Every structure is written in structure tokens, then in C-alpha cells.
Amino acid sequence: MKTISLGQSDNQVSVMGLGCMGMSEFYGDRDERESIATIHRALDLGMNFLDTADMYGIGENEKLVGRAIRDRRDRAFLCTKFAVMRDPQTKGMLGVSGRPEYVRSACDASLQRLGVETIDLYYQHRVDPQVPIEETVGAMAELVRDGKVRHLGLSEANADTLRRATAVHPIAALQSEYSLFSRDVEGDILKTCKELGITFVAYSPLGRGFLSGQIKSIDDLAPDDYRRMAPRFQGENFQKNLELVKKIEELAAKKGCSASQLALAWVLAQDQGKDSHILALVGTKRRKYLDENAQALQIVLTEADLDQIEAVMPKGIAAGPRYPEMAMRFVQS
């Protein structure tokens, strides 16, 4: 497993991380035994970067991850997030909070659910538009001083927010969506991360599974699957995006790999060399897909390969926004 430095620290993290969200919610059926086996398999592969959040399963995902790493804490680089508040009864979103007092209480609750003394990387999941980022990061920095958190991160923050946050305390990582379907971060955001020495964590590098080529019809998704409400999976958007995926499958076949592997290799190819700062976060709950994804690290894309991919998947070609309108309000650009 290849590794990179987290931010400007000496901590080495795997260039591919495991997103654990779907193990508890959003993506159909759940199997705790297989989920835990998948986390263990990731660690055995050297994939030490494990990602969860307090809103995934409304705390249940943190508990699951905590159980999985209980006897192997030293092998895991543990990341979780706060800020998105949900109603435990309806499971609906109540809003976003970056209030200092909320930061502290959320961290204590996450530590308890995870069963650990320290969180390796603590993110603000979404920036609170009502609270200056300086106040939120100031409270997060207190958690570092108290030994509850080692490194700080933000998610879906723009370049200006990153600069303001970094002026208060070093930001080790920014997690935002990045894939052949979602390239909004290209430009100022990726450039600012590189300039400030911030690791960029690309979540949904497979377009929420669309780029895997496994989804051919909306009926391939479980009735309670979140993606049924996602704009890119609806109506004409679905059909247009499916045609794009077919083109990626054709290129992957010529390369001798799967569509998933090609899409992951593309994300990682956007920043190579000794100072690489991009980490791909693969969200899977099954070992067979984890193994397939990990093999993407063996794929080398030439300039000709990248040109061919760009020709069929230029920036902005995906049909539909990546979130419903309400959720997009909390995504900075």
C-alpha cells in the first residue's frame, strides 16, 4: 500500500482510505459481520485510513468502527466528523452547527461511541454559515491541546475558508467529493490545498457507485437506497450518465481493468510524485469490492490514457447536481 504524509505532519496514511458510511446507512442492506471483516481486510492491506462520522447511522457507524478496531487500534488512522445534526426519530437533517460548545460536546460523544481516547483526524463535516470558521476551528484546536484530537480537517470548504481556518490552526485535510463525475474542486480548491500543505481526501471517487458500472437500472438500488433521491440517479439524468459510464467501461476494457479501477486510478493520477497530496476514499462494505478497488493502485495511466478519458468525460459533463438542492446549500464552492 502506498502512503503519503497527512498534511504537513510526519503521519503516514494510505493513499487509499476506507469510507465506512454505507456499512450503517444510505446504501441498502447491512451486514455487520461482513462490514467488520471488510475493515479488518483494509487494515491487512495496509489501508489504515478509516473514515466515519457521527451522522452516519446517527452514531451507529462510529460504534461499528469502534468495535472493529478495538483489538487493533494501533493499526488504524481513525477519522470522524461533526456538524451535521439529525433527528434520531425521523432521521431528517436538522441543520449544521459549528458552535464552539457543540464542537466540544460532539467530540466527547464520538470518543465514547468509538471507544477510544483520541481521534486521529477530526473534521467539521459541513461549514456552519452562521458561525465564523475562526470560532469553530478555535474550539477544534482546544481539542488538540486537550489530547482528544490529533489533527483537524474540514469538508466541502472553499479556498477562502481554508485560508481563514489555517490562520487559526493547521488544517491537515480537506475532504470533498471528487471523481470523473464531480470535478468542482479543480482550480482554486486543489491549488490552495497544495499551497497550504493540506491533504485532499477525495470522497465518492466512484460517483456513489455509478462509475463502477454495476448500476444499470434504478431498480438495481434497494427501495431505501439514498441514491434514489440523488439527482444524478433520476430520470433523464440517469440515462445520460449511464451512457458516460459505458464509455468508461470501454476504455477500462482496453486497459485490462474494471471501470471502478480506471476511475480510481484517474483520481490518484491527478497528483503524483513525492509530494502527492490526494487520497482516494473508497466507500464499500464488502471485501470483494475492497480488493478490487485496492488493485487500482497497480494501474499506471499514461498521458494518452488520460487524454482519452478526458475526451469522453470532460469536466462538467455529468448530468444533474450531486446533491438535492437543500444539501447543496451547505457545500461551498
Can you spell out the DSSP letters for 214-237?
A: ---SGGGS-TT-GGGGSGGGSHHH
Instruction: Select which of 56, 102, 122, 123 is catalytic.
Output: 56
Name the DSSP letter for residue 58. Answer: G
Helix extents (H) in the chain: 32-44, 60-69, 100-114, 133-145, 159-166, 188-196, 235-255, 259-269, 287-294, 303-312, 325-328
Contacts of 311 (CB under 8 A, 6+ apart): none
Residue whose C-alpha cell is 451535521: 84
The amino acid present at 125, given as its one-letter code, is: H
Can you tell me the distance from the alpha carbon of 206 to that of 281, in angstroms, rounded to the nearest whole number? 9
**β-strand pairing of 93-96 with 84-86:** antiparallel
Q: Do residues 252 and 258 touch, judged by C-beta distance below 8 A?
A: yes
- Cα 208 to Cα 11, 212, 230, 253, 284, distances in angstroms: 28, 9, 10, 21, 10
Judge whether 203 counts as a catalytic residue: no
Q: Report the sign of the C-alpha dihedral through residues 226, 209, 52, 64, in that order.
A: positive
Can you tell me the distance from the alpha carbon of 297 to that of 1, in angstroms, rounded to the nearest whole number? 8
Q: Where are the beta strands (DSSP E) in the chain?
A: 3-5, 12-14, 16-19, 49-51, 77-82, 84-86, 93-96, 119-124, 149-155, 173-177, 199-203, 278-283
- Give me the count of residues in the chain: 333
**For residue 207, how many C-alpha atoms fall within 13 Å in the half-sphere facing its CB?**
32
Q: Which three cell numbers stand for residue 284?
A: 464499500
Residues annotated as part of the active site: 56
